[in-house]
Each structure stands twice: as structure tokens, then as C-alpha cells.
Chain A
């Protein structure tokens, strides 16, 4: 009997664990180590953050689902890996610390034959003074990154709406809280959902809404922007993004590294080196992401974290990490199988793997401050990678070490993404977008880096319907209800 341990029960980890359990059957064991008792459909946190959904609607208990799937569930966080075992045994293991199941605070060593690291991001609020401490959100701004954060954001937004009703003009600031953030899409969704709710409440005249982002240009989204075919033209996402901001009366600041957050005020540096300040009454700033800080030790107990993980804390996989200038970046730098180069029974999936470099063009201010979005790894690629890695591990278990590893390069796959711009079955809108491939391949598509036949975007009510249906569909799938396996990632 082989044991697969999956660290993290988010999009990538849950996908990997549930498929692996199904493919391996009861002959082998799948263990999931994840600190939360509930699964969260993170994209719908945006609607929780504007009071249009409850926390309960976007989460569900993991325990019964894992019981049904025959998965051993440990409500715990992984702390360190010993991929060579220790002095007393050659068996690799992971050290975990319980966060629930009546054992909170207790440590345990869980041995494994195969390991999938799908621990996602550490929400690194502490990177910007005033934004928070470590992975804890600070007191001046709100966040929508977790369901709890989103609930808190909705409560604060209600207060702001009440003030407007009482005739107090309010300034709203939404965007990224550091020069190296990713996930601009979530901030984009939140600003337009907030604007939509304010408009619905008849208070639009009472609000000044301001966007602040580390993207060099509007519509970069950490992917260097995208070009789509519209009305016979190939058009940059910049044109459409600027258009939406103009239409909805939302001012914007781009190329900004927020370097300090205080009560009602942020300070920032721009790509041209100038410094600025923005005041606010309500602000949601996305934190930068880092790896969750797992440590690794060799058999002798020496720290080998640098061998297994990149400096940003994400796990090294089969990517080409050789530093090279932007002009020399290639689609083939991106990983194919997500296998750790040193320990072949260890894989990473979703946000947890270390990308070889940015997707957007790198940029620095004249003062040397790095201001560029880091690469997004959104839901669809995270799910596809999780499934491919699970398939590889199952083949290795069933067919032995020579088994073929499955590939899921972000430079060969596309992504569909639906960005909400306001919720409502009759008056909602969302930008439905696809990109193909996610990472530009300038050797294949020398102009835009992507196939313009499969890269498109359109805003409208239909997009909202899709987004809302996907909410139910993905929660249905994650609960392993009948036919869950045929729903694509």
C-alpha cells in the first residue's frame, strides 16, 4: 500500500486528492493535510465582500466529503518536510501541526511515498508597513482573500454606505497593496462590485472611487495584458479596461508600489520614481503572495529549504530557473510535470510551485524599486495542474518509477476567467475572458504571444450568468456529488 500526502485542500490540492483517491481506490491511501475545516470557493468571496452572499454560501465542511471519498483528513498545517527521512528511518515524512479535530497545537510526523504540495499562497500583508503583520490583515484596510475577510469587508462597506446616506461623501480606494502583488483580477472585480452596489443604493454621487495598481498599464492583470479580436480588430485589454473605468467613473493610478498604509491614507511610489499619497474612508488592498514558509531538512537534520524552495517560498519544480533578461524568456522555461528536481516523489501544484519568471514585463522605478505584477495562477490552471500531478502520482504508484509523467504547462494551456463587474440576474455584468495560452509563446505567436482565435473578452449579463452558474457548479463538483468527475476544472 502506498501513501500519497496532499498538503493543502484548496483548488489544486482538493482536485488532486479527490481524483487520486478515485483513481487509486482503497488499495492505497490518500491523506489531505489542510488547516481549515471548510472548503472555500474563493472567487465568490467578492460577492460576500459586498454583502450579496453569505459566508455559508461560499464554504462547506470538508470532513464529510473526505469521509465519502475515503480520504484521511488531517486538519493541520504542514510545517516542514524531511524528504530523506531522519536518523532513525529512510522514510520521508512531513511534520504537521494540528489546528482542529480536538488536537490543536499538537505535532505529528506523517510519512509518505508521494507528496503533493498545494499549499497556495501566504497572504503576505506584513510586506507593506501598515497593511498587516505577517499573514494577518491590519486594521486600516479590508481584504476579500478569505471568506472571513470578505465578511468583515461587507460589514465595513455597510458602514460606509450608511455614512453616504447621512450625507457624508466617502472616498473608496481599491487595488494592490504592494509593488509585487498578483491577483489584480480580484481587486478589479471588487471595485466594480462595490461601485455597482453604491449605484444600486442610489448613492453614486456621494462616492469617489479610486483604483491603485502595480500594473504598468491598465488591463495587464499580471499576464502582460492580452490581445483579443473585437469587431475585426486585434485590440489590447488596456483599451477595454480603461473604457470600463471611464464608463463607471473610476479614476486610476497604475505602476504604483504602495509602501505604507496608515489610518485613512496610503503612500506610494510610481514607476517614474515620484512619490504620492491617497486618502480613503474605505480601502481593500490585495496583499502580495509568498510561499507558506515550509522548511525542509535532510537526513542529517540540516536545513535544505534553499534546495527545495525558491527564495519566495514557492517550491522548485521542473522549470528553467536560470536568470535571464526578458528578451530571452521562453515558453519552454515553464514547468511541464511539476516534479521537484531533487526529490522525484515530491510535486507542487497551483500557486505553491515557483514560476520561472514573471509573465508581465519586469519594471523598476529609477530608485530601484521593483514594481511589476507577479504571475497569476488562477483557478483553472491550478485545477488542471492538480489533476495532472495526481495522474502522474497514480501512474507512478501503479506502474512503478518509469511511469510516464503527465504534462500541464501554463505555456500550453489556456484559461477561462469570468470577472464580475456587479451581481444581479437581471442587471449584473461580468467580463468573460479566455486566454490561450496563459503564458505568452512569442516563438509561436510573435506578435501578441497568444492565439487571437482563442483569446477573447466580452462584458455583459451573460458573463454574470456564467459566473453565477460556475459558483454552483464548482461547489457541486468539490462536494463530489454525482457526475462530479465530468465537470472540467
Chain B
């Protein structure tokens, strides 16, 4: 039996077969506190730019 989550999900349903599924590294980055702290700052800046263009 496949152990990697993406292996399981690709095989689970035809719909999923044509999707991209994040691997272990991409998943880990999503909740990696240091990386996410950096992203937090970047996202806030990006959002503030859009907010300032909209007011």
C-alpha cells in the first residue's frame, strides 16, 4: 500500500488524477513557522498595496 499521501490521493479518484498535489516539502512549508512568518509579512504588504489601490 502506498504511504505517501499524494500517492493515495492520486489513485483515490479519477478527478484527482489530473490535479497537482503538493509533495512533502510544499506541505511542510505551509505550516513551517519561520517560513510562514516571512510569508505573513510579504502577504500583508501585498494586500495593503491592493487595499491602497482600491480606496
Tell me the smallest distance from the CB of B49 to a CB of chain A, in Å.
7
Output the nearest chain A residue to B32 by Cβ-Cβ distance. A461
Q: Which residues of A contact B6 (CB under 8 A)?
A: 247
With A243-B19, A251-B13 already in contact, the answer to whether A427 and B51 are too (CB < 8 A) is: no
Chain A, 225-253, contact with B by CB distance < 8 Å: what is the 0/1 string?
A: 00000000000000100110111010110
**Are A488 and B55 in touch, CB under 8 angstroms?**
yes
Interface of A is mostly: mixed
What separation, in Å, do the CA atoms of A243 and B27 have in the docked complex?
12
- For A461, the chain B residues whose CB sits under 8 A away are 30-33, 36
- Among B15, B18, B36, B54, which residue has its beta carbon within 8 angstroms of that of A380? B54
Contact B19 A462 (CB under 8 A): no
Interface size class of A (residues with CB under 8 A): 20 to 34
Closest Cβ of chain A: how far from B1's Cβ, in Å? 13
Residues of A within 8 A of B30 (CB): 429, 459-461
Specify which of B5, B13, B15, B53 is in contact with A414 (CB 8 Å cutoff): B53
Q: Does A21 contact B (CB under 8 A)?
A: no
Q: Write out, one digit per residue, whether chain B residues 14-42 have a CB within 8 A of any chain A CB (1) or not (0).
A: 01101111100001011111001101100
Contact with B along A249-260 (1 / 0, CB 8 A): 101100000000
Among all A-B residue pairs, the 5 with the closest Cβ atoms: A246-B16, A413-B54, A462-B40, A246-B19, A462-B39
A residues at B contact (CB < 8 Å): 239, 242-243, 245-247, 249, 251-252, 380, 384, 412-416, 426-427, 429, 432, 434, 436, 454, 456, 458-463, 465-466, 488-489
Given A247-B6, A249-B12, 12 other A-B residues pairs in contact with their CB atoms under 8 A: A242-B18, A243-B21, A243-B22, A245-B19, A249-B9, A252-B15, A414-B50, A414-B51, A434-B47, A460-B36, A461-B31, A462-B43
